Structure 1
Amino acid sequence: MGEAKRRKTTDGEKYGQDPRILPWIPITKSQSELFVTWTTRGAWVGIGLMVTVWVTIRFIGPAFGWWEIVG
Structure 2
Amino acid sequence: MGEAKRRKEALGDKYGKEPYIFPWLPLTKTQAKRFVKWTTRGAWVGIGILVVTWVTVLFIGPALGWWNVAR
Question: 1:66 Cα shift?
Answer: 0.9
The residue matched to 1:26 in structure 2 has which SS? strand
Q: TM-score, normalised by structure 1?
A: 0.91
Q: Which consecutive unaligned segments of at least 5 residues does structure 1 have? A: none
2:17 corresponding residue in structure 1: 17
2:64 counterpart of 1:64: yes
Q: CA deviation at 1:70?
A: 1.5
Distance in 2 between the 1:37 and 1:69 partners?
Answer: 43
Distance in 1 of aligned mates of 2:3 and 2:36: 32
Larger relative strand fraction: 2
Gaps of 5+ in 2: none
User: Identity of counterpart residues, as a percentage?
Assistant: 63
Q: Deviations over 1:18-69 (max 9, x none)?
A: 1101111111111111110110010000000000000000110011001101
Report runs of 4+ in structure 1 exceeding 3 Å deviation: none
